[in-house]
Structure 1
Amino acid sequence: MGTTLVATTEATFARQILRADCPVLVCFGVRTCPARRALLPILTRIAVAFQGQLRVATVVLDDAPLLAEQYGIVASPTLGVFHHGERQGQVVGFIPEGLVQVLADEVCHGAVSGDTRWSPCEERFETAVIIPLLAQWGFTVERQVPCALPSHPTAQRGRIDLLVYDHPSRPPVTLIESKRQIRHAQDLQQAVRQAATYAHSLALASFVIAAPRGLWIYRYGDAGAVCERHVTSLALHQTPELPRHLLLQLRAGGAAS
């Protein structure tokens, strides 16, 4: 099995993908799509890392309209998992390299099944993506920090997914509420309510909702929670330092630029 991406067409799809003797991770995408272009070097590294366990292939949708229709591909890029001739999971949109590694690992261990949208458990998402990103920023983190809820300070305690520091002698910079997926506005609103409760308890000026689709950065104060910026996973891949500067600015009481 090669260590490079397999360029697959409608004519070769059955042989290279459906009849493959190993699991296959297929990137369906439009040729000019920026997110697809950003994924290609990541997928090349995955092909090398999982050589002998996983085939990694690409399909250019411009040249494969029948495959797009057959598998209901409506967004570029879409990662599809195939094994034994069946699709066994998919991911729509760009995801960070750490999550592609988690996906490939789960595929190789038979943990991805059913033709549904795949998402990692929150702990794996944090370990593969968020904590390395915070370390890149020079931040440290505490995980699963108990926190009394203001409405029931003695009887009810929640747990903050990640409490973030830039220096051990200073108060936290922010907190992060991580989610497997944010699919709908209701999902985001529920996560915001939970995170705002913790931010209020700790008198923090900001909080972050993190999911595979990106980061939602909120200012928190007397006016409640106000979304300052949604940084998509692709934007975070391209400009990873942007959220760090914004979070430090919010702690200092500055306005987002």
Structure 2
Amino acid sequence: MISARERLLNYAILIVFSAAALFPMIGVVAQALQFPDLDAGTFRDAWREGHFGTYLRNSAIVTAVTVACASVLSIMAGYALGVLRLPGSEALFLLFLAGLTVPTEAVVIPLYFDLRTLGLDNTYAGVILPQVAQSVAFGTYWMRAYFRGVPRSLIDAARIDGASSWTTLWRVLVPMGRPAILTMVVLTSMWTWNEFLLPLVILNSDEGLRTAPLGLSFFQGSHQTDYALLTAGALIIAAPVVLLYVFLQRRFIAGMLSGAVKE
């Protein structure tokens, strides 16, 4: 049993970290309230002048494709490494873990030259493929932890009933693991949407392919003194991710709890 003191300490730590996470958002909203001229017209001007419709569409395409590809690959890789226990799976898992330790800044320059050689700079694919690779590293780690926490008797029962490995994965384990999978999807979506460095380097000469954070940066550079317009632009860019989290909050927390398994 957790004592009252330990529970109080846990809540205090959670409040501190929550405040640190929410502080930037609260700061933007508080700043927005200081401008009496920040109204619907300001948002329309920011939308039109900042081309945020195009940038939001680009971010939506990049995020949707990245999350879809990374989720499917992560589920299959996590199942292979967590359930099938193939020869060399432990070494391969360590390779995935190594992918979590490599910062984007360390590889972005050689990555750019490789993509340019392949003709993938200033393309959606040039931004999507590296982010799929980054997301699969985390997704495999996350899904492997979930699959290793599934009772082995359940998998054995499915095998006795004649289910193949493919059927066991997609018809038994995936439906059960929706909270964990949804948490992975939400995290990957937020990271992909907020990615700035890769689009900045890869999409260096095509304005029409800029993602939302990159477009906001250029918008800020051209409206440095119009704080109301800048605040409106920032709120526009942040809104999709905030709405996604608010809408999926309960499922996200349930997935975090179900994914916190001990091996």
- Max radius of gyration: which structure? 2
Q: TM-score range by the shorter chain?
A: under 0.3
Using the size of structure 2 for normalisation, the TM-score is 0.25
Higher helix proportion: 2
Higher strand proportion: 1
Higher relative contact order (CA 8 A, sep 6+): 2
